[in-house]
């Protein structure tokens, strides 16, 4: 009788343990048919470091090992293409992605307008610069993970330093710089879209001029993506491109070279720069929302954020991360007036479609 009693007790304990494990799986890991977190991001995420495979394993493999789950990362050529796919999935009710990484401070406006994100406040949000959150999305539909200045990157073998010094947008018209400038398409590239907003803001808010005139007079070469524009610069087809202020740090780190330098426009003694901020968020209708929350907190942690400077070549959003020495070759943030503050997100949301349509007409695209 005692033996049978022990067996019954053991069975009850086993069932209780299995039930607890199942409930934990459902509650915290968002389990349904399978325990797989699906992440959408852009092709070059964390791809520019000294050992990208090792970094990728630390960030995504480390999460898998820590939580005993599978992570499937789906890459897109650009964040614009990625957002279009998410909008399509949410509207059709066939959502595949749980997490999206890489929506910038322009695309977050469209994402919120289309209702494709689920707001979430991470437990470790205090580790992220508050000014960055307020600039990006104070409602927490997505949280910033990195940021950087849009800049003109030029090849010093072809571009005279005297021409590039005290650069203004007008110099692309008056000096012939425009003939060797390559810009990313704002319809398909987040870099190109940020640059369009940069130029509009400086012309409209600082100079009091019609932003369209610059594009009409310069007519720069247009490439679909940042990768395409970089190839054109690297191959010598063009000698100045729209890119990021940290690019020179990249060149020094990998090639010990200062051939490629970065600059931004300067008016009335002030460097004026556009700040691109990238964020991470949960897709509305995600199959594994609780697991998605855990990944966001993981991605924002100091351990993961330390990989941003030398792999994404942007500034990390986590305020406890120290920058590597090579960042002294980048344009210092404290020297720049950020023009984003002059262009409210509400104004961008109201006019963006019209601006892109006008740009498309001007450029004959």
pLDDT digits (tens, 9 = 90+) for 135-178: 999 999 999 999 999 999 999 999 988 889 999 999 999 998 99
- What is the model's pLDDT at position 34? 65
pLDDT per position as a tens digit, 54-65: 999 999 999 999
Q: Are residues 92 and 232 in the same domain?
A: no
The answer to the question of residue 16 being in a domain is: no
Give the separation between CA 4 and CA 2, rounded to whole angstroms. 5
Instruction: Indicate the number of domains in the chain.
Output: 2
| Adjacent-strand bridge partners of 282 | 99, 118
Nearest Cα neighbor of 201 from 94, 105, 294 is 105
The 10s digit of each residue's pLDDT in 187-211 is 988 899 999 999 999 999 999 999 9
Compute φ and ψ for 105, nearest 5 degrees: -75, -5
Instruction: Say whether both 200 and 240 belong to one domain.
Output: yes
Q: Does some domain include residue 14?
A: no
Give domain status of residue 221, yes or no. Answer: yes
| Res. 14: pLDDT tops 70 | no
Please provide the DSSP assignment of 237-282 as one string: S-SEEEEETTHHHHHHHHH---SEEEE--EETTEEEEEEEEEEEEE
> Cα 95 to chain center, whole Å?
21
List the end-to-end C-alpha distance of the chain, in Å, as a whole number.
86
Tell me the average pLDDT across 284-292.
Answer: 97
* Tens digits of residue pLDDT in 303-342: 999 999 999 999 999 999 999 999 999 998 888 999 998 9
Residue 199 confidence (pLDDT)? 98
Both 296 and 241 in a single domain?
no
Cα distance between residue 26 and residue 45, in whole Å: 30
**Residue 89 belongs to a domain:** yes
For residues 224 and 268, membership in a common domain is answered with: yes
* Residue 61: predicted pLDDT: 98
Residue 197 lies in a domain: yes
Average pLDDT over residues 339-365: 93
- List Cα–Cα distances, 84 to 78, 98, 166, 223, 269, in angstroms: 10, 15, 38, 19, 40
Domain range enclosing 167: 148-276+327-363
Residue in 215, 213, 203 with CA at minimum distance from that of residue 343: 203
In a domain, 17, yes or no: no
The pLDDT-based confidence of 19 (bands split at 50, 70, 90) is: very low
Note whether 150 and 191 are within 8 A (CB): yes
> Above 90 in pLDDT, residue 80?
no
Contacts of 32 (CB under 8 A, 6+ apart): 287, 288
Domain shared by 353 and 213, yes or no: yes
What pTM does this model have? Answer: 0.82
Residue 56 main-chain phi, psi, to 5 deg: -60, -40
Residue 12 has pLDDT above 70, yes or no: no
CATH of the domain at 254: 3.40.190.10
Confidence label for 119 from pLDDT (cuts 50, 70 and 90): very high
Do 211 and 190 lie in one domain? The reply is yes
One domain for residues 98 and 159: no
**Spatial CA neighbour of 52 closest among 311, 324, 303:** 311
In terms of domains, do 165 and 140 share one? no
- Within 277-340, where are the H helices? 289-300, 302-305, 308-311
Looking at the structure, tell me whether residues 313 and 348 fall in a common domain: no
> pLDDT band for position 361 (50/70/90)?
very high
In contact, 31 and 25? CB cutoff 8 Å: yes
In a domain, 27, yes or no: no
Residues 152 and 125 in one domain: no
pLDDT tens for 332-346 read 888 899 999 899 888
Assigned domain for 15 exists: no
Residues 336, 306, single domain; the answer is: no
287-325 core/surface letters (b: 16 or more CB in 10 A; e: else): bbbbbbbbbbbbbbeeebbbbbbbbbbbbbbbeebeeee
**Mean pLDDT across the chain:** 91
């Amino acid at each position: 009788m005692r033996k049978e009693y022990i067996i019954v007790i053991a069975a009850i304990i086993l069932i209780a343990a299995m039930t607890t494990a199942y409930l934990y799986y459902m509650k915290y890991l968002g389990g349904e048919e399978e325990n797989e977190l699906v992440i959408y991001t852009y092709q070059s995420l964390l791809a520019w470091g000294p050992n990208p495979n090792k970094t990728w394993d630390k960030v995504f493999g480390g999460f898998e090992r820590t939580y005993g789950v599978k992570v499937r990362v789906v890459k897109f050529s650009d964040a614009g293409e990625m957002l279009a796919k998410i909008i399509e999935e949410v509207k059709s009710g066939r959502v595949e992605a749980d997490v999206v990484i890489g929506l910038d401070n322009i695309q977050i406006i469209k994402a919120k307008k289309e209702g494709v994100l689920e707001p979430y406040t991470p437990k470790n949000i205090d580790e992220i610069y508050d000014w960055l959150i307020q600039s990006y999305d104070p409602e927490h539909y997505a949280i910033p993970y990195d940021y950087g200045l849009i800049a003109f990157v030029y090849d010093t073998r072809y571009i005279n330093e005297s021409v590039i010094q005290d650069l203004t947008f007008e110099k692309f018209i008056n000096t012939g710089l425009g003939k060797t400038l390559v810009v990313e398409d704002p319809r398909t590239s987040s870099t190109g879209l940020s640059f369009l907003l940069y130029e509009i803001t400086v012309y409209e808010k600082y100079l009091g001029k019609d932003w369209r005139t610059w594009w009409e007079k310069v007519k720069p070469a247009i490439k679909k993506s940042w990768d395409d524009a970089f190839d054109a610069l690297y191959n010598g087809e063009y000698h100045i491109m729209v890119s990021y202020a940290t690019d020179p740090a990249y060149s020094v780190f990998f090639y010990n070279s200062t051939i490629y330098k970065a600059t931004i426009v300067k008016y009335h003694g002030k460097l004026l720069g556009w700040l691109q901020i990238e964020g991470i968020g949960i897709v509305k209708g995600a199959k594994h929302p609780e697991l998605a929350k855990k990944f966001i907190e993981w991605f924002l942690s100091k351990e993961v954020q330390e990989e941003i400077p030398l792999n994404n070549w942007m500034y990390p959003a986590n305020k406890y991360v120290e920058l590597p020495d090579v960042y002294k070759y980048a344009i210092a943030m404290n020297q720049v007036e950020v023009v984003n503050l002059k262009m409210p997100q509400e104004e961008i949301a109201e006019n963006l479609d019209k601006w892109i349509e006008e740009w498309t007409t001007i450029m004959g695209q």
